[in-house]
Structure 1
Amino acid sequence: MSDAREEGGFWLYDLRVETVLDGRAPVCRHVEGESFRVEGETLVFDGAQRVSMYALAALLPLLPARQRPTDAADWMSTDAEVACPDPHCGGRFRIVRAGRRWFDHAATTGLPEARGTPYWQQEDGQ
């Protein structure tokens, strides 16, 4: 049963994407432990963390799907690692769900008749 708040919005998982190596030397610039976060639509890099643009291009289509609730048996719920797109590279990226964040529909839509204050301009600082 959903509460009244859920009727006008949705939950997304925050994600942490961390570089892991599988024992093979990376061909691309992958450093074990480097990471970034996904909070709503935003990629958050701390300090001097870096990610290959080619690896990021492979990861980007999967991130919105991983943010959404899925069935426990769905591969999107169980398979947390994505390989670097270079077949000779040992780099992998572990995508971990790290908490949930509520988004109000009016704060995230582009539809003029349904629009509210954008979520990133709201006082709670999401």
Structure 2
Amino acid sequence: MRTGRPIFVSLCEWGDMHPALWADKFGKSWRTTFDINDSWERYGLWSRGQIRMKFIDPDMLEVGNGGMSNDKYIVHFSLWAASKALIIGCDVSSMTKETLAILGNEEVIAVNQGMM
């Protein structure tokens, strides 16, 4: 169907079938690992964040979901910006001023958009 505007398609099959070899024919980004969760623990942001920076889609942002401190959310947002993967994963209709400040950081967004 034609919409008259670009549509951003992000594929998810968790990297099991090597999406870097074929996914660009179907979408603009693709997941490469299992789902993230809103924590800094072993299976959360920090352990996989270091690995994920080289990948195209490390999953949605957890900023604002309540599982980490604002300082950790700032780091999370920065890592995802550097990996060109800013997809908001919180309820934007009820986010706090602090969450909005993190997600609206123009300097970090400029890094994501290749403007710096």
TM-score between the two structures when normalised by the length of structure 2: 0.26
Larger RCO: 1 or 2 (CA < 8 Å, sep 6+): 1
- Flag the structure with higher helix content: 2
Larger Rg: 1
